[in-house]
Amino acid sequence: MVKVGLQYASVWSFLAARSIVSLACLFLLYFVIKYREKVKFVAPSKSELIKILFVGVLLQVSYLSFYFLSIDSNTSPGIVTLILGFQPLLTPFLCGQRLTLRSFLLLSMGFIGLAISLFGSSEMDKIAFLGVFFSVVALLSISIGTVLQANISHHIVQNMFYQSLLSAPIFLVVSMYCGGNITWTLEFCISLVWMSIVVSVGALLLLMYMAKQDGASSVSVLFYAVPVLAYFFDFVIFRNGLSVITILGMVIVAVSVIFYRKLR
């Protein structure tokens, strides 16, 4: 979806538009939960607010910026996805967690399954230094941000609302400074809605909730399933075929995720 949207907008214009739509959604969600559901949001202390905003810089600014830049570079999306696929292996290390041999083998199995599915369905022939560099920075940003987010006790919607209040002005200023542009087409609008609401609000809320409940290392393995599910929905919705290699990789990922989660 990012690749589609970037055909009609510059990186920073796309990110600015995404941040505005996401902020609007979170604004509505925040007040619905606060006034209709009668949830009492506790104002964070200064130190807690700094931590919340720092995580926002990692997840809402750094990760998204470098992910979009890596997709916009001359590096194949499959390569970018493969690099980000190291997150489940990296997260336990960042958490200071010692993996059992079985856990390590299941994580490795998931990465191998991801690689097989990517080689079966994605172009993997274009590699650019900047694209690889941006992907690595995006990997570090989301990995560290997920670990830190798991230790924040405040309401998830409240956290994301504060974080979006920080990220939206940043992307707007950068977009205006860089002279970005958008061609408003149906394809761009679909890509914008997907990245703003489904990914940046829905998926990220789910990630934060699960990280808080189960721990960052337990949740990170689900990142193997994200591109696999994208292939599945691409097949169901757009009737794009799946190769035998891709299906094999999907099965390996599913088995590794299921058994790894049972270990937790």
pLDDT per residue over 131-153, tens digit each?
899 999 999 998 898 888 878 87
Say what angle helices 77-84 and 129-149 make with each other, to 10 degrees. 40
Record the pTM: 0.85
Residue pLDDT, tens place only, 199-209: 778 777 776 66
Q: 9 by DSSP, 3-state: which?
A: strand
Mean pLDDT of all residues in 115-133: 80
pLDDT in tens, 75-104: 887 888 889 888 888 888 887 777 788 888
Furthest C-alpha separation in the chain: 54
